[in-house]
Amino acid sequence: MANKICLVVTTINDGSFLDCYVKAILQEEVSQDVRIIIIPDIKTPGTLFEKCEEIKRQGVQIICPSVETQDAYLAKLGTIRNIIPHNSENRRNIGFLMALEKECDVLISVDDDNYPLSGNLFFKEHLLVVQKVKAESFTSDDGWFNICDLLDVEPKTTYPRGFPYSHRHKIRTITRSHEEATVHINAGLWLGHPDIDAVSCLYAPATSRSFEGTSVLLGHDTWTPINTQNTAITRQAIAAYYEWRTGYPMMGMTIDRDGDIFSGYCVQACARHLDYHIRVGTPIADHRRNSHNYLKDLTYELACIWILEDFTHWIHDINLEGSNYIEAYLCLAEMIDEQADKFSGFIWNDATRGYFHYIAYCMRTWIKTITLLGVD
């Protein structure tokens, strides 16, 4: 396998979850092609670094920079150091930048409670993002597809985190065709605990038992949430995959936890504009979810849920410009900056609009850093 893969994950735990990835790397015989980049934070225990040294002795490539090393790395890259805070999922962006610097062909993003299934080809399945594939394509009459429909999940009316509520619980018609397409985003699904929001966890906890059928392509007008759990993108698309900074006060709430969902919609918009496709399905991960307080999670997610109702409606129908990811993403940043003052409704006040103006600034800063690293 000639393509370089970087697996990026953040953690504040001891790294025991890495054993499953090491096993997959050795079983798939890809130790020369895969590098793990694990980004610790201030709360991460020292035992993580011991685990990483143990993994190195097994012949697996792994990088685990200390917080001090991360900060020094960001300082060399300019103003981006100001938009990647400590104690935040946003630190994942450091791993993305390091993956670019290591000249990866494929970036795989996972959480530390996602485990590759034994016997499956986790890394080789994600390599589809650098290939042309022939597969069934789904086009929905309302422009949305529920990826949980590909799972044997209970309850049946389960939707992934970030799926707009205005499009839930609707009867939709799916048109199926077969296409040959270049895939730039591959969203793997989950067994165990599917990636659902706190509202769903509170009123209808879900269990995913198996993957139903085969992986599919999404038609260019058919959207679904893309997260940072078991998701692969091609190297070029990293330019449009900045994970949004959260922790912003808004309407008496704090916008948090869904920075990856916003970034997933942004990279989709750019990929679709450039005529690349999104594939959903395999590889499947076992999501052994870390302990959560769902009432607390809901407090942080509620503002995101409100905003996503308007944001998803808007981004679904925009027309970007640009001949590559950098140009398309800069165009998207300008459009978000302009649109922020046009949104209206309950959630849209000066603070909300200020957050979106700030995100547009962050997106431009991300592109400056990407350019500094020599990515075109």
Instruction: Write the burial class of residue 25 (CB in 10 Å: 0-12 exposed, 13-18 middle, 19+ buried).
Output: buried
**Up-side HSE of residue 222: CA atoms within 13 Å toward CB?**
21
Dihedral over alpha carbons 29, 44, 235, 78 (to 10 degrees): -150
Q: Which domains does the chain have, with CATH numbers?
A: 5-372 (3.90.550)
- Going by their DSSP bridges, the two strands 277-287 and 216-218 should be labelled as antiparallel
Residue 254 pLDDT: 79
Whole-number Å distance between alpha carbons of 90 and 255: 13
Residue 19 near residue 112 (C-beta atoms within 8 A): no
Instruction: Write the burial class of residue 284 (CB in 10 Å: 0-12 exposed, 13-18 middle, 19+ buried).
Output: buried
What is the torsional sign of CA 353, 335, 106, 66?
Answer: negative
What are the φ/ψ torsions at residue 220 (nearest 5 degrees)?
Answer: -60, -20
Residue 2 pLDDT: 61
Amino acid at 371: T
Q: Enumerate residue ranges in the chain where pLDDT < 70.
A: 1-2, 375-376
For residue range 310-346, what is the model confidence (pLDDT) as tens digits?
999 999 999 999 999 999 999 999 999 999 999 999 8
